[in-house]
Copies of this chain bind each other. A is one copy, B any other.
Amino acid sequence: MALNPTTLINQALALAQQGASKHELPVAAILVNAQGEVIAQAHNLVETQQNPLAHAEMLVLQQAAAQGHKYLQECTIAVTLEPCPMCAAALCHARIGTIIFGAYDAKSGGTTNGPQVPQHMHHKPKILGGIEEQACRQQLQTFFQSLRS
């Protein structure tokens, strides 16, 4: 029932940690409606599914569409990492109301970094980045350190 950005990102962080424990890049997304009810949630499944498109945001959008939610104007998605260009464009295609994300991604992000995809799309969601940024960044750094050790 939460629409508080910090609360949503913390929920996503917990879900991303479940992904990390399955050797997935710890990124997770939670989609809520205007009442703050969770419609869909997922962590990355690229390794599990051996599918380079299985980003958390795409999985969440597919779940929403499968439930009959073609467009999501009243909805908010909270993601632990800045969406990449694919996910940013997909969120615009789905007419998402608001994108909240944690860590900025200067290398692979496509929302406020890189190609800044939403600026080129017909539908332009509200974007709120850097929520619980340090915790989100730390989660990714810890994961990459564990890969190297």
A contact residues vs B (CB 8 Å cutoff): 49-54, 58, 61-62, 65-66, 68, 70-71, 84-86, 88-90, 93-95, 108, 110, 114-117, 119-122
Contacts and interface: CB of A to CB of B under 8 A. Distances in A.
Contacts of A95: 52
Contact of A117 (B50, B61, B115): B115
A120 B53 contact: no
B58 A93 contact: no
B53 A61 contact: yes
Contacts of A122: 108
Nearest to A85: B89
A110 to B, nearest CB: 7
